[in-house]
Amino acid sequence: MESSVLAFAVDLLDEGADLFFGNLTDRAGVGGLTLASVYHEARDVFPHNPRRVVRYLEPGAAYFQPDAALWRGRTLAPRASTAIGDEDPFELACAQAARRGMKLHAWTVFLHNDRLGFEHPQCAPENAFGDRHLTELCPANPEVRDYVRTLVLEHARYGVDAIRAESLHFHGLRHGYHHERYFEELGPITEALLGLCFCLHCRAAARAAGVPADEVRAQVRQEIRVRLEDENAATAPGSLTEIADGALAAYVDASAATVTSLAAEAAETAEACGMRLSFMDGGGPGTGWLSGIDLPALAKSVHGIETLGYAPTAAQVREKVAAFALHGVAPSALAVILRPMAKDCDSAENLAEKVATLRGLGVPEVEFYHYGLMRLSSLDRIGTALGHTR
């Protein structure tokens, strides 16, 4: 089983290559590094960082130095984080990983980009009322799709083995903006409908699939208005599949086809450059329909599916893997992320049992979240779980 630890570029730069990679190999005993290449805004606490404990991450920043020639003439382009200055953490990580015989993966947040959405609102998803969700990019937009393919190309020059594609899909209403406020009860139906994209590109894709997109949008607007105006209506039960005489469900299915085709294009681009691309489905089976996640179709279009094995027991991790198998994703096509911290894990034995469970199921890759956000003792837990001796 291959193993890796997810990390930020600032972990590498703040600690220095020797200490950082020494912890990965000598304490955690992993064979790979999964380094964030593009990431969203955040504020985190770093227990063992020698330079700071609390750090703010910039909105939608790149943690490598973009190749200007690749982006010339394109509307959307990554911008290097001010945190890396003139340095290129991926260049450093590539050289250090190769020297130590480790694999380098790129953990890339594609469409949850809170800088590009605000700078280019025409590329953001548009709800039924024409309001833009500016923390995201729409996967149906041609300029966004060009951005995704070009971003994949950027990683090839760093000797990246695999791209971990996070956020390569639509997002719901409650996703990714600080100080979101909902003072009236919206209800699950209203929230679901407000999260759907009705931009001209999504509507065109739906019409191409035989869906009356404009009629669906009108029905969705009407349904939302009814539920916003009355508290009882907001919480009343309902079925998304019945809205617009079933056409809404067909509209969502067309959105899933959009996501699958974009993931396939990204995977093909990666493969042409000698890389793999795995699609991150953090929620797991049964949770991603409104986000356009069609697991059986995606499993045939990308090189693997990655998910979160966040659970307190090995039995629950086993159940997560089994759920994917029921949705057309065999354990041999999965990568699973575990957390060795106290929220999920109370001992090295607990983590070792989870790793053993994944190995026994035939899961080929396990990753651990997250180098800078865990204590050094959690790195030691990883080493114990993997059978590494210092």
Residue 318 reports pLDDT greater than 90: yes
Those residues with Cβ within 8 angstroms of residue 199's Cβ, 6 or more apart along the chain or in another chain = 125, 126, 138, 140, 141
Tell me which residue of 269, 271, 221, 266 sits closest to 243, measured CA to CA: 221
Q: Which residue shows structure tokens 């996501």? A: 259
In this prediction, residue 390 has a pLDDT band, given cuts at 50, 70 and 90, of low
Strand partners, 34: 6, 105
Six-digit token pair at 307? 């998910």
DSSP label at residue 78: -
CB 104 within 8 A of CB 161: yes
Question: Torsion-angle region of residue 387: left (phi > 0), alpha (psi -120 to 50) or beta?
Answer: left
Q: How far, in Å, CA of 208 to CA of 222, rounded? A: 24
Q: pLDDT over 90 for what percent of the chain?
A: 89
How confident is the model over 44-81, as pLDDT tens digits?
A: 999 999 999 999 999 999 999 999 999 999 999 999 99
pLDDT value, residue 389: 59
In this prediction, residue 279 has a pLDDT band, given cuts at 50, 70 and 90, of very high
CB 213 within 8 A of CB 207: yes
pLDDT value, residue 179: 77
Residue 178 reports pLDDT greater than 80: no
Residue 121 reports pLDDT greater than 90: yes
